[in-house]
């Protein structure tokens, strides 16, 4: 009998169940702690206020989209278009704002409306036309990217001064953008735990036919999750505009894979029906802290990719082992 089996045999059934459900999350946060320890000992700048503030902001940028992605994956769906929608959103918002404070409200509403429209179209194609989410959002990835690059292949438009200042604003030592992410984390956790909509997500991901026969409004829920996912992508586009100050078409590339990776590392099943907000937060922090640490240590970008891949596989493999 190996050590793991011996350890498990000494636990009560309720303790074993708790460990199987939450062990993967503990493992992810354990990885994060190890990364912080390495950073604190190997780089003088890693634990500086400036760098930790940067980590908080980067976590918010990735995490907001990852929350939307998690909602979709909980229903056994997927959204491959979020990166392209972030790209289109920063361009649309920059052109609409055009540096004028008077255009701020209109630009925000237009960008969020764009996200809502894209999400509802995804929901329509999945629900009514019966196209697989992978195909729908893969096609959307190409369409939205094409539209974005048709608008411009170089930076265009500009953010108003007030909107640019939003990126650097803090409440105490904490960036407002990070606090915004925390609020969305709490709201999403409450949504999943205490609302019928949240329970429906798990039911649909567990078995869509059983959920439908049980009276779950499957179509309405799918419309909702795809709309929410696309809105989070548009919000992230707006946040990137506050950072960049202009509509940069280079923004958004690869975000879809980062969000899926973060969600899966955090313990959400690609087959739906299982996942938590705290797990997704762990996945986001692991990716962001790891990338930040590798830059701090001056690791070659090609080696960075290798190290990131190994750590991601290790985290997912441990999750799989604990979950079996």
Phi/psi at 251 (nearest 5 deg)? -75, 145
What is residue 273's predicted lDDT score, i.e. its pLDDT? 87
3-state helix, strand, coil in the chain (%, to 5): 75, 0, 20
* Distance between CA atoms of residues 42 and 31, nearest Å: 16
In 3D space, the residue among 27, 260, 281, 37 whose CA is nearest the CA of residue 137 turns out to be: 260
Residue 288 pLDDT grade (very low, low, confident, very high; cuts 50, 70, 90): very high
CA distances from 80 to 15, 54, 147, 229 (A): 37, 26, 16, 11
DSSP letter string, 290-311: HHHHHHHTT--HHHHHHHHHHH
Residue 320 pLDDT grade (very low, low, confident, very high; cuts 50, 70, 90): low
Decide which of 11 and 265 is more confident: 265
In a domain, 33, yes or no: no
What is residue 25's predicted lDDT score, i.e. its pLDDT? 82
Contact (CB, 8 A) for 237 and 248:
no
- % of residues, the chain, pLDDT over 90: 74
What is residue 307's predicted lDDT score, i.e. its pLDDT? 76
Contact (CB, 8 A) for 151 and 91:
yes
- % of residues, the chain, pLDDT over 70: 89
What radius of gyration do the chain's Cα atoms show?
A: 20
In a domain, 123, yes or no: yes
Please tell me the total count of domains within the chain. 1
* Distance between CA atoms of residues 297 and 64, nearest Å: 27
293, two tokens: 């640490």
In a domain, 172, yes or no: yes
Choice among 60-74, 79-93, 193-207, 264-278 with the minimum mean pLDDT: 264-278
Q: Is the predicted pLDDT of residue 234 greater than 60, yes or no?
A: yes
What is residue 313's predicted lDDT score, i.e. its pLDDT? 76
In a domain, 158, yes or no: yes
Per the structure, the complete domain to which residue 298 belongs is given by: 52-323
* Distance between CA atoms of residues 323 and 196, nearest Å: 26
In a domain, 8, yes or no: no
What is residue 164's predicted lDDT score, i.e. its pLDDT? 93
In a domain, 28, yes or no: no
End-to-end CA distance of the chain: 17
In a domain, 117, yes or no: yes
What is residue 1's predicted lDDT score, i.e. its pLDDT? 47
Taking only the tens place, the pLDDT of each residue in 22-61 is: 667 888 898 899 999 999 998 889 999 999 999 999 999 9
What is residue 24's predicted lDDT score, i.e. its pLDDT? 73
Taking only the tens place, the pLDDT of each residue in 289-319 is: 999 998 898 887 777 778 767 766 776 676 5
139, two tokens: 């096609």
Q: What is the average per-residue pLDDT within 271-299?
A: 91
In 3D space, the residue among 188, 211, 202, 219 whose CA is nearest the CA of residue 123 turns out to be: 219
Taking only the tens place, the pLDDT of each residue in 152-192 is: 999 999 999 989 999 999 998 899 999 999 999 999 999 99
Non-local (6+) Cβ contacts of 260 within 8 A are: 69, 73, 78
In a domain, 24, yes or no: no
In 3D space, the residue among 89, 59, 102 whose CA is nearest the CA of residue 242 turns out to be: 89
């Amino acid at each position: 009998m190996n050590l793991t089996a011996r350890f498990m045999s000494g636990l009560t059934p309720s303790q074993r169940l708790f460990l199987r459900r939450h062990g993967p999350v503990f493992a992810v946060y354990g990885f994060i702690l190890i990364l912080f320890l390495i950073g604190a000992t190997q780089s003088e700048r890693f634990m500086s206020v400036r760098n930790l503030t940067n980590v908080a902001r980067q976590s918010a940028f990735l995490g907001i989209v990852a929350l939307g992605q998690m909602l979709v994956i909980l229903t056994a769906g997927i959204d491959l278009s979020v990166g392209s929608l972030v790209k289109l959103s920063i361009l649309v918002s920059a052109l609409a704002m055009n540096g004028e404070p008077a255009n701020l409200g209109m630009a925000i509403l237009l960008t969020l409306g764009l996200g809502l429209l894209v999400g509802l179209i995804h929901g329509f194609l999945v629900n009514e036309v019966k196209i697989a989410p992978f195909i729908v959002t893969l096609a959307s990835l190409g369409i939205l990217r094409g539209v974005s690059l048709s608008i411009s292949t170089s930076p265009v438009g500009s953010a108003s001064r007030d909107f640019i200042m939003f990126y650097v604003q803090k409440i105490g030592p904490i960036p407002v953008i990070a606090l915004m992410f925390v609020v969305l984390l709490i709201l999403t956790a409450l949504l999943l735990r205490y609302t019928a909509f949240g329970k429906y997500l798990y039911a649909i991901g567990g078995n869509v036919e059983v959920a439908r026969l049980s009276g779950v409004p499957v179509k309405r829920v799918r419309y909702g999750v795809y709309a929410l996912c696309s809105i989070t992508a548009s919000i992230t586009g707006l946040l990137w505009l506050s950072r960049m100050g202009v509509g940069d078409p280079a923004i958004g590339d690869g975000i879809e894979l980062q969000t899926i990776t973060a969600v899966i590392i955090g313990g959400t099943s690609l087959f739906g029906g299982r996942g938590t907000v705290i797990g997704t937060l762990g996945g986001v922090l692991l990716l962001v802290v790891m990338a930040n640490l590798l830059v701090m240590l001056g690791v070659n970008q090609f080696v960075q990719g290798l190290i990131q891949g190994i750590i991601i596989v290790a985290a997912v493999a441990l999750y799989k082992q604990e979950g079996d």
